[in-house]
């Protein structure tokens, strides 16, 4: 049976660090409030480049670590909701800038914070059905562009970043064991960002400042409940239970959400990847950035079972189980 195996990972976070103390000078907040309510201490902000540049850097690093010739990449999928252009897609720019196979399909997936897992799922389907042999899958977002820097309830939560993996279709037991994606558009008003090109149907919403809006409290409750269900579905479909998990890599939105999940799954700290204190919520960048750090930090070894779970605007949620 053909599976999507990860050959290499890469990530990129912009150099500019914005600490909670920096934010104290911008909005009415404190380092203590942000750290205790979210776990975030600092985030990165892209000052000169946009999502394309971050995606290219993460993709290049993933290609380097996988030792795959760029010309052999015959599929490029990018999860993002902050592309620099409405079209072409970020994936097309990545294809051109990294010299990936001309003619290979390249497209973006819009699933907010679940974007990377949706992109991974799409690439996996191409690979398993013979539509591609080697794929570059990237999650990237630049929320510094869409948050209202005068709204303390949201601007403290997000940051910019990207992560990438190179997948290869291989026979055997290693690779993606299961992948699930879900959406429920009825909950879209929980978390959204109006388009800068104002669509008439949403004129009322777009007449507000075109920034990200979030009902934090409700989103929090739904995120915990939904991610818990996603974990159960992932484990059941892979025939695993939480003791089998070597490493849990959840979307990095809030330390309290991750802790709640860790307790429900009865996982020890060393099996849970949490890096949001350094980056905040980087949306689609969050999971592949955390994966790359875990790989580089020696936390992943051959045969390990990794469980990923994400939740985001849409509403969207997703999971994946991977044998390394």
Ligand X SMILES: CC(C)(COP(=O)(O)OP(=O)(O)OC[C@H]1O[C@@H](n2cnc3c(N)ncnc32)[C@H](O)[C@@H]1OP(=O)(O)O)[C@@H](O)C(=O)NCCC(=O)NCCS
Q: Under a CB-based contact definition with an 8 Å cutoff, are residues 126 and 179 in contact?
A: no
Q: Between residue 51 and residue 110, which ones bind ligand X under the rule CB under 6 A?
A: none
CB 141 within 8 A of CB 82: yes
Distance separating alpha carbons of residues 193 and 112, to the nearest angstrom? 10
**H or E stretch including 23?**
helix 20-24
Binding range to ligand X, per CB under 6 A, among 83-91, 130-138, 168-176, 250-258: 250-258
Concerning whether 113 is annotated as a catalytic residue, the answer is yes
Distance of closest approach, residue 231 Cβ to ligand X, in angstroms: 16
Among 51, 136, 156, 212, binds ligand X (CB under 6 A): 156
Closest contact distance (angstroms) between CB of 28 and ligand X is 7
Contacts to ligand X from residues 29-58, by CB under 6 A: 29, 33-34, 37-38
Is 217 an interacting residue with respect to ligand X (CB under 6 A)?
A: yes
How far is it, in rounded angstroms, from Cα 250 to Cα 273?
7
By CB under 6 A, residue 223 contacts ligand X: yes
- Bridge partners, residue 137, by sequence: 77, 165
Where does this chain touch ligand X (CB under 6 A) — which range of 128-136, 163-171, 194-202, 211-219?
211-219
Site string for ligand X, 273-312 (x = CB under 6 A): --------------------------------------xx
Q: Does the active-site annotation cover 275? A: no
Of 92, 101, 155, 251, the active-site residue reads 251
In angstroms, rounded to a whole number, what is the distance separating the alpha carbons of residues 91 and 110?
12
Q: How many residues sit close enough to ligand X to count as binding (CB under 6 A)?
A: 22
Task: Kindly list the distances between the CA atom of residue 89 and the CA atoms of 34, 102, 109, 137, 191, in Å, as whole numbers in the listed order.
Answer: 34, 15, 9, 14, 23
Q: Of the residues 20, 113, 182, 275, which is catalytic? A: 113
Q: Which is nearer to ligand X, 107 or 220 (CB)?
A: 220
* Bridge-based pairing state of the strands 42-44 and 247-250: unpaired
Contact yes or no for 290/151 (Cβ under 8 A): no
Sole window of 77-85, 201-209, 215-223, 293-301 interacting with ligand X (rule: CB under 6 A): 215-223
At 113, list the tokens. 């914070």
CA distance 97 to 100: 8
The answer to whether 260 contacts ligand X (rule: CB under 6 A) is no
- CB neighbours of 191 closer than 8 A, spacing ≥ 6? 112, 212, 213, 214, 215, 219, 312, 313, 315
Angstrom CA distances, 142 to 75, 78, 107, 192, stand at: 23, 13, 18, 15
Nearer to ligand X, 128 or 256 (CB): 256
Question: Which residues contribute to the site for ligand X (CB under 6 A)?
Answer: 29, 33-34, 37-38, 113, 152-153, 156-157, 191, 214, 216-217, 219-220, 223, 253-254, 257, 311-312
Q: Which residues are catalytic?
A: 113, 251, 281
């Amino acid at each position: 049976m053909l599976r999507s195996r990860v050959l290499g990972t890469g990530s990129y976070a912009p150099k500019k660090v914005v600490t909670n103390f920096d934010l104290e000078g911008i909005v009415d907040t404190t380092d203590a409030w942000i750290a205790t309510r979210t776990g975030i201490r600092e985030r990165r902000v892209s000052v000169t480049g946009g999502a394309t540049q971050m995606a290219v850097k993460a993709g290049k690093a993933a290609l380097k670590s996988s030792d795959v010739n760029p010309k052999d990449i015959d599929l490029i999928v990018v999860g993002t909701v902050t592309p620099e252009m409405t079209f072409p897609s970020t994936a097309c720019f990545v294809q051109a800038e990294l010299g990936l196979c001309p003619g290979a399909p390249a497209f973006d997936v819009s699933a907010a914070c679940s974007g990377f897992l949706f992109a991974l799922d799409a690439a996996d389907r191409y690979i398993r059905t013979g539509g591609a042999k080697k794929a570059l899958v990237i999650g990237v977002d630049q929320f510094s562009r869409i948050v209202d820097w005068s709204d303390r309830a949201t601007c403290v939560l997000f940051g910019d970043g990207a992560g990438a993996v190179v997948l290869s279709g291989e026979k055997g037991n290693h690779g993606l064991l299961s992948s699930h994606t879900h959406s429920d558009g009825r909950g879209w008003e929980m978390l959204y960002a109006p388009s800068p090109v104002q669509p008439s149907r949403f004129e009322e919403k777009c007449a507000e400042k075109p920034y990200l809006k979030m009902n934090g409290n409700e989103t929090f409750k739904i995120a915990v409940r939904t991610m818990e269900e996603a974990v159960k579905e992932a484990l059941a479909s892979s025939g695993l239970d939480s003791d089998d998990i070597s490493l849990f890599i959840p979307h990095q939105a809030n330390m309290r959400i991750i802790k709640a999940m860790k307790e429900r799954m009865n996982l020890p700290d060393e099996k849970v990847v949490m890096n949001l204190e350094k980056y905040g919520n980087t949306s689609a960048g969050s999971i592949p950035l955390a994966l790359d750090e875990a790989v580089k930090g020696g936390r992943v070894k051959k045969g390990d079972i990794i469980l990923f779970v994400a939740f985001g605007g849409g509403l969207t949620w997703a999971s994946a189980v991977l044998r390394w």
